[in-house]
A and B are shown apart, each in its own frame.
Chain A
């Protein structure tokens, strides 16, 4: 689930504090300079676009489209906890030959996916983390590289592979 907390963390990361209107169960609204932006994804994109790190949204039209696609994926597919296993399986396959979702650079999609998967990964067993080795690698890289550690608890990963790779 994307939550208000994640938007705040993202705002902090982008060095762009924000005020949200609307309580937990409502769709959040961002009020800024007489502008109303409603909805998680819209707010995330808006604050990224207006920050210094707008490159996170992609530079070329293709990259922008891919970021949008992944944002939609995150908001549509990862809301239901009952499908965690199949989602991880899918992501694992996708990340097998990629370092980031878009291949070679970090995007907003990676950020939001990291936020969304954090809770899931916190509960995964080491065996499962190894099973989804590609997602784990991506996750581990995200949590260290971007210093989310201050805002999110570090998830531990084994340094050596314990279980025979399947």
Chain B
């Protein structure tokens, strides 16, 4: 029972949910229940809480008559329904009914669960994020035997992007005096893929005939 702290946002929120389908706190006409809850509010509620706002304005329209509403005054925590209790409410449960579902246990379970979730999230946040990297060796084949290999290498190395680092390179003979460029690079897996590399390199079509991935290693 109760709405929790009516001065806090969560209390107002639960009151708002409660009033969504009710015009008054109790029953179908203004009663002391309304004036008790009304006096617990610190002032007109926020515009977002339009159910509370509607009710607030309505009760406020009675002015001094609120004191003469029928019914008896009860503790503010005696109003509201069970489902609208916010988690942090410490109001004692005065309900004498036998609770078949053991809501106390449920509440504890829920609390424990929340705590564990929080711990887990904390642990996860502390763990340094591992950046997955790969070492790629590319075979770049020149257009023909007259291609300037130095120029080609410069072109390849001119490709710059975030997460890409060019490494050592060497020229390997293929045959008939033709050489290919074998170049090493380190990439961050999330940022650069082999498709991107191949595409970029083959753009220098004056120099490059084709690109192959010779080796691909996770670091």
Report which A residues bind B (CB closer than 8 A). Answer: 96-99, 103-104, 133, 136-138, 140-141, 144-145, 157, 159-161, 165
In the complex, which residues of chain B have a beta carbon less than 8 angstroms from the beta carbon of A136? 21
**Stretch in B54-62, B121-129, B153-161, B209-217 with 4+ CB within 8 Å of A:** B54-62
* Residue of B with least CB distance to A157: B21
Q: How far is the CA of A96 from the CA of B17 in the complex (A)?
A: 14
**Contact partner, B20, options A104, A137, A144, Cβ 8 Å:** A137
- CB pair A97–B54 under 8 Å, yes or no, is yes
- CB pair A141–B23 under 8 Å, yes or no, is yes
Q: Which of B42-92 contact A (CB under 8 A)?
A: 50, 53-55, 57-58, 61-62, 81, 83
**A104-B58, A145-B28 are contacts. A99–B50 as well, Cβ < 8 Å?**
no
- CB pair A141–B28 under 8 Å, yes or no, is yes
Q: How far is the CA of A55 from the CA of B91 in the complex (A)?
A: 43
**Is the C-beta of B22 less than 8 angstroms from some C-beta in chain A?**
yes
**Contact partner, A145, options B29, B55, B57, Cβ 8 Å:** B29
* Residue of B with least CB distance to A144: B28
- CB pair A104–B21 under 8 Å, yes or no, is no
**Contact partner, A96, options B24, B50, B62, Cβ 8 Å:** B50
Q: List 23 A-B contacts (CB under 8 A).
A: A96-B50, A97-B53, A97-B54, A98-B58, A99-B23, A99-B54, A99-B58, A103-B61, A104-B58, A133-B21, A136-B21, A137-B21, A140-B21, A140-B22, A141-B22, A141-B24, A141-B28, A144-B28, A145-B28, A145-B29, A157-B21, A159-B81, A160-B83
Q: How far is the CA of A144 from the CA of B24 in the complex (A)?
A: 12
* Residue of A with least CB distance to B53: A97
In the complex, which residues of chain B have a beta carbon less than 8 angstroms from the beta carbon of A96? 50, 54
B interface residues, how many (CB within 8 angstroms): 19
Interface centre among A99, A136, A144, A165 (most CB of B within 10 A): A99
> Top 6 A-B pairs ranked by shortest CB distance?
A145-B28, A144-B28, A104-B61, A141-B23, A99-B58, A97-B54
Q: Mark B26-42, 1 if CB is under 8 A from A, else 0.
A: 01110000000000000
In the complex, which residues of chain A have a beta carbon less than 8 angstroms from the beta carbon of B24? 141
Interface centre among A96, A138, A141 (most CB of B within 10 A): A141
In the complex, which residues of chain A have a beta carbon less than 8 angstroms from the beta carbon of B20? 133, 137, 161, 165
* Residue of B with least CB distance to A145: B28
In the complex, which residues of chain B have a beta carbon less than 8 angstroms from the beta carbon of A165? 20
Q: How far is the CA of A144 from the CA of B29 in the complex (A)?
A: 9
Q: How far is the CA of A62 from the CA of B29 in the complex (A)?
A: 24
Say how far A104's CB is from chain B's closest CB, in angstroms.
4
**Contact partner, A161, options B21, B29, B61, B62, Cβ 8 Å:** B21
Given contacts A97-B50, A140-B22, A141-B24, 5 further A-B contacts (CB under 8 A): A98-B54, A137-B20, A137-B23, A140-B28, A141-B23
Q: Mark B93-110, 1 if CB is under 8 A from A, else 0.
A: 000000000000000000
- CB pair B53–A137 under 8 Å, yes or no, is no
Say how far B86's CB is from chain A's closest CB, in angstroms.
16
**Contact partner, B22, options A97, A98, A104, A137, Cβ 8 Å:** A137
- CB pair B23–A138 under 8 Å, yes or no, is yes
Q: How far is the CA of A160 from the CA of B61 in the complex (A)?
A: 28
In the complex, which residues of chain B have a beta carbon less than 8 angstroms from the beta carbon of A98? 54, 58
* Residue of B with least CB distance to A97: B54
In the complex, which residues of chain A have a beta carbon less than 8 angstroms from the beta carbon of B62? 104
In the complex, which residues of chain B have a beta carbon less than 8 angstroms from the beta carbon of A157? 21
